[in-house]
Amino acid sequence: MDTPCVTPQFTLAGKTALVTGAGSGIGRGIAELFANVGARVIVVDLDEAGAAATVENIENAGGEAAALVADVSQEAAVVELFERAAGLFGKLDVLVNNAAIFPKKPFLEVDAAFWDRLHGVNLRGTFLCLREGISRMLAQGTGGSIVNISSVSSMQAVVYHNATYNASKAGVNSLTKTTALEFAANGIRVNAVLPGGVATPGAKAASGEIQLKGPILTPGRIPLGGMGEPEDIAAAVLFFASPASRHITGQLLAVDGGFQIS
């Protein structure tokens, strides 16, 4: 695969990366960019066809990837996922916890089952993958980089009927900082990227459910203009995954076109 012109600090050549929720949208963008800068990528998704399509895209571009199917909300499935991943490429250098769901429901209609399902994927899934990923990085003794995908919604409530999702992503932020502190001495860095509005199939499908607290896309509301694209998020994730950020851990980086300052 022809690696694009990048400085050595931004290459992932010789590295193995595991990306959850990589069968479409932001996760697919991350996986494809990682492969484009030299990483072997383990593409994980509950959607087998989506994961296979991402792998096909990577291989058609000359990269190396493999697909695994897993439900990150289930502990046994995550343990098995990381065992199978170790058998594919033998090591883990980069982990991206991207898998998430975002159904919306008015706060007074949220029942425990809805809360538990969403937190099961978004927060428990991130916790389980962090635990298994860190365990393997510790066993390797060579450090590693972990990037959690959170959301600007964890910092600023904008969309109605999103309390459950916002709370789950606030939990991801806390896990990011806590694990970053606990494992810094082991050379394991943990950071988070907080996307704003991103034009993905999932976001478009959910748009009919969204009621906005003010028109989010009016002129000036996103200073850099309009929705982001998956590649915008992928570029920020690559920064955290690569040696370019070797002295950075425990940080939350919003990629929102300036929405939070508008």
**Residue 34 is which amino acid?**
F
Residue 55 has what pLDDT? 98
In 91-222, at which residue ranges do the beta strands (DSSP E only) sit?
A: 94-97, 144-149, 188-195
- Give the rounded percent of residues in the chain with a pLDDT score beyond 70: 89
Which residue has 């082991």 as its token pair? 186
Neighbouring C-alpha atoms within 13 Å toward the C-beta of 236? 24
Please count the other Cβ atoms lying within 10 Å of the Cβ belonging to residue 20. Answer: 30
pLDDT tens-digit series, residues 197-247? 877 665 555 544 454 444 455 556 788 887 889 999 999 999 999 999 999
Q: How far apart are CA 128 and CA 76, in angstroms?
A: 10
Per-residue pLDDT at 2 exceeds 70:
no
Per-residue pLDDT at 1 exceeds 70:
no
Whether the full predicted model's pTM is greater than 0.85, yes or no, is yes
DSSP 128-160: HHHHHHHHHHHHHTS-EEEEEE--GGGTS--BT
- Three-class secondary structure of residue 254 per DSSP: strand
Enter the DSSP assignment of 67.
E
Annotation marks residue 165 as catalytic = yes
Active-site annotation holder among 82, 89, 165, 183: 165
CB 50 within 8 A of CB 57: no
Residue 215 has what pLDDT? 47
Q: What is the CATH number of domain 8-256?
A: 3.40.50.720
Residue 6 has what pLDDT? 60
Give the ranges where 61-124 is alpha helix by DSSP (H): 75-89, 112-119
**Residue 106 is which amino acid?**
P
Q: Which residue has the higher pLDDT, 20 or 90?
A: 20
pLDDT tens-digit series, residues 29-68? 999 999 999 999 999 999 999 999 999 999 999 999 999 9
- Three-class secondary structure of residue 186 per DSSP: helix
Mean pLDDT of the chain: 91
